Amino acid sequence: MFNAVAEASRRDLLDALGTGEATVGGLVDRLGLSQPQVSKHLGVLRAVGLVLVRVDGRHRWYRVNGPALKPVHDWVRTFERTWNARLDRLDDVLAELQAQEEAP
């Protein structure tokens, strides 16, 4: 799963799908990728369970499998805490520097 989302085009596909559904043709139009590229990347995302497909006649509608993204979300969230703590410290340092500049 992590290898699948490491590829920028696959992340773009997930973004393009958002919370809705789209066909390969719709994704080709939105992303400017070729049909074989979109199909290949969707195949990888389907293989790891990040994308689900619904068949409606001759059309295949793709959508994000949100619950399958939870491990990625949980892993990134551990870094979010670190980034927020570092940004808070940076705010403190900047406030100290501004206070020193304003002091006579």
Q: Do 31 and 54 reside in the same domain of the chain?
A: yes
Helix (H, G, I), strand (E, B) or coil at 1: coil
The rounded distance, in Å, linking the Cα atoms of 59 and 102 is 66
Q: Do 36 and 12 reside in the same domain of the chain?
A: yes
Q: In 10 A of CB 77, how many CB atoms?
A: 9
Q: Do 18 and 55 reside in the same domain of the chain?
A: yes
Question: What digits encode the pLDDT tens for the residues 42-70?
Answer: 999 999 999 999 999 999 999 999 999 99
> Which residues sit opposite 55 in a β-bridge?
60
Domain housing 31: 2-66
pLDDT (0 to 100) of residue 104:
72
pTM for the full predicted model? 0.75
Q: Do 54 and 7 reside in the same domain of the chain?
A: yes
Task: Give the CATH number of the domain where residue 56 resides.
Answer: 1.10.10.10
Q: Do 58 and 17 reside in the same domain of the chain?
A: yes
Q: Do 35 and 61 reside in the same domain of the chain?
A: yes
The rounded distance, in Å, linking the Cα atoms of 65 and 46 is 9
Q: In 10 A of CB 29, how many CB atoms?
A: 13
Domains identified in the chain, total number: 2
Structure tokens at 76: 């990134």
Q: Do 6 and 26 reside in the same domain of the chain?
A: yes
